[in-house]
Chain A
Amino acid sequence: MKFLPLLPLLEKYPFLKPARHIAGEAYHKEALKEAEKFLRFVFLNEKYEKSFEGYSLLCEACEDKSCAKFCKSGAIKNERIWQKCSLCGTCFEKCNYLTRVEDYSRLLARAKISIMSYVYCRAVVSKSEVALRKFAVRAAEYYKSLMEKDSYDKLPEILAANFSIKYKSGFVHVKDYLKAAVRLKAPEWKLYSRSLNGGFVRVSRNEFFRIVEEYLREKLSEKVSYEFEGMEKLLKIVFEFESKRKEMDVEGVKNAECYPPCFKKIISDLKAGVNVPHSARFALASFLLRIGHSVDEVLQIFSYAPDFDEEKARYQVEHIAGMRGSGKEYEVPSCETMKTYHNCFSDCKTKHPMEYYRRCIRESFGRGKKRKATGVKARSGKR
């Protein structure tokens, strides 16, 4: 029966590659409801609990294995050789294993609902950058928590096959390890804290799931475009989250409208491919970091520069952020300093770009205006 062995897995982990073969609108209403619950969990911190039946891959008990001839990678012998499997799904599609029809339909329905609700969620969050990022983080975390509670012994192998991670019983290839580890800042993820032998890093089961979480987060950060009936209702949850977020962070808010003219000009120069002097880049980086941008976001802006060298730029920005060297965060230069280096393009009647920015933010909120900064008048400089 088509996909029978995989159905319980796909219900629990709808991001697995073969899910696309059984996606479909058949249980639209149920899937919609499920998606709503999940989005409320992600964005509004509501509770989300789902119970799953225990499972193990039927293939282990299957004597038939007639599906083996369809596998192009030769991954099915007496057992499945997970290191060769890419979880393409072909063998499962040709599955000959039989079970009672009622059971099959029930498993199929549950899997379909879960997969579609997953698709709906991804389509909805793809409409907003902020929501997408938040979703990717939270959902990846959620699936990892499911993995941690999952006692099926072949689960790591299945996930490794799905994400093309080289993995063999407790050892992951260093190249795949690094991909996740460089994002995990904790010292225990430093490569030199690990037993590394012949290209393989020893990891515990839960550590492996932590690695998978990073792969998953990356996958979930990709946009999905898909329109469906009832989308608006789900979008409302995302909007609710966005507006709450805006209210919440008056201080940490990042409002590009309120950047002082000097930094607006430097950014637009960068975007236009103009070669911006070092002092201006330094000032801009310190400013962006100060108002709460991450190093990656700052690099994003610098990447427009014609001579952008990620390695060098990252080093410098991290230095400015205080992550390197002296460990002290650099101050945003004052207007006076900005003028000395010819990086000032206006006369803002202020002493410090930060002052300009804070005032603008305060006033734009004070007047209940969402976007437009009206509080501070600036004669904008010549371009």
Chain B
Amino acid sequence: MDTLTKEYLKAKFLEYYSKNDVEEPRLLWEREWAFVEVESLPDFIMRRHIAFDSYIELKGFILKNVPLHIYYSSAYYEKPDAENMEAKGWKKADLIFDIDADHLPNGSLKEAKRQIKMLYDVLEEDFGCKDMEIVFSGSRGYHLHVHDEDFLELSSAERREIVDYLSLTDFKFSRKLPESRQSYRIAEIMANEIDKALKEGKIRELFPNISERREKMLLAAAEEVVESVKSLNFDYFPKTLEKGLTRLFNKAAESVRIHVDPPVTADVKRLIRLPGSLHGKTGLKVCKVSRDEIDEFKPTRDAVVFEDDFVKIRVKSNVKLRLKEEEFRLKKGKAKVPEFVAIYLICRGVAIYGW
């Protein structure tokens, strides 16, 4: 990236940080802070092991250095600015989950949203978490931070067990499913599928090798069949239909499965993006979204912070994007675009500033 572009980006980020507050994490002074500065581009050099005593100090640092990326540690330390982990003195750490659209089977931000909602609800209902925050990452996913004291001292292995619970690692079909909420969730979906198939006369689609006698019997007892599946009882389905059951189970499990990124949760000293800061690779705002508002939340609209004034840029290759409910198609070469588009493209590395 050329100097002019860097200067422009820095000026704009500074403008943002002068007008807006960033989120103040709890016990800010027990956190390690890390920054990537505009100057380091195109390399990604992180300055770590920084600590602040107060919000004012943090804000002062941000205004002075205008970082491109701002991170703080999920962990609380005795000495957050010590250079090595032992000297830092780990006390506890927020429990963090990351759902990244790029790691999902169908890879969309919409699916990421469905998953983060599911995650929130499972953590609330099953784990009894009450103090949680959902954060849009500023790019391709959502983070969830759990602050309930009960969960802060969990070790890495213990956190990974929670991941296994959510993502159903190695959870396989058997006729004796454990009586757990996860089993019941899956069974409920299986039962509904079977119910639908029975009503539409399509049970053979689920169980291609079903005998006519068995088909009749299931139809006759449809209600009981569905209820028994819901209560984890598969006795209506003989051994010969095992394959169909397994297929049905796997499909149902897939929609219950929450694809949290395992290393993020298991890491008890993770660096995470600060809510309220800007994501340096998109220029979008890393923002908190409450559980009630998430349905309405649209990252490409609600996380855009820059203005509409026109800016001259040079686009490096043809691009198409959607921001603030507007579609932009740009050809390689000179272009005049609203500021928020310019910054997005510059951050992505597909444009430079000026003609």
Residues of A within 8 A of B (CB): 166, 173-175, 178-179, 181-182, 188, 190-200, 306, 309-312, 314
Contact = CB atoms under 8 A, between A and B. Distances in A.
Contacts of B235: none
Interface of B: 84, 125-129, 150-151, 153-158, 160-162, 164-165, 168, 171, 178-183, 263, 266-267
B294 to A, nearest CB: 22
Contact of A192 (B128, B153, B180): B180
B170 to A, nearest CB: 8
Contacts of B154: 175, 178
A193 B179 CA distance: 7
A310 B158 CA distance: 13
Nearest to A310: B156
A191 to B, nearest CB: 4
A225 to B, nearest CB: 24
Contacts of A190: 161, 164-165, 171
A194 B182 CA distance: 9
Given A174-B127, A175-B153, A175-B154, A181 B180 contact: no
A83 to B, nearest CB: 14
A196 B127 CA distance: 7
Contacts of A198: 125-126, 128
Contacts of A197: 125-126, 128, 181
Contacts of A194: 178, 180
A195 B165 contact: no
Contacts of B165: 190-192, 196
Contact of A199 (B127, B155, B156, B158): B127
18 contacts: A173-B150, A178-B158, A178-B161, A178-B162, A188-B178, A191-B165, A192-B171, A192-B180, A193-B178, A196-B127, A197-B126, A198-B128, A199-B126, A199-B129, A310-B156, A311-B266, A311-B267, A314-B156
A200 B171 CA distance: 21
The 3 lowest CB-CB distance pairs between A and B, nearest first, are A199-B128, A193-B178, A178-B158
Contacts of B171: 190, 192
A13 to B, nearest CB: 26
B164 A192 contact: yes
A31 to B, nearest CB: 36
B157 to A, nearest CB: 4
A198 B150 CA distance: 12
Nearest to B167: A192
A311 B164 contact: no
Given A194-B178, A196-B127, A311-B263, A182 B161 contact: yes
B161 A191 contact: yes
Nearest to A176: B150
Contacts of B160: 182, 311
A32 B157 CA distance: 40
Given A196-B127, A197-B125, A191 B164 contact: yes
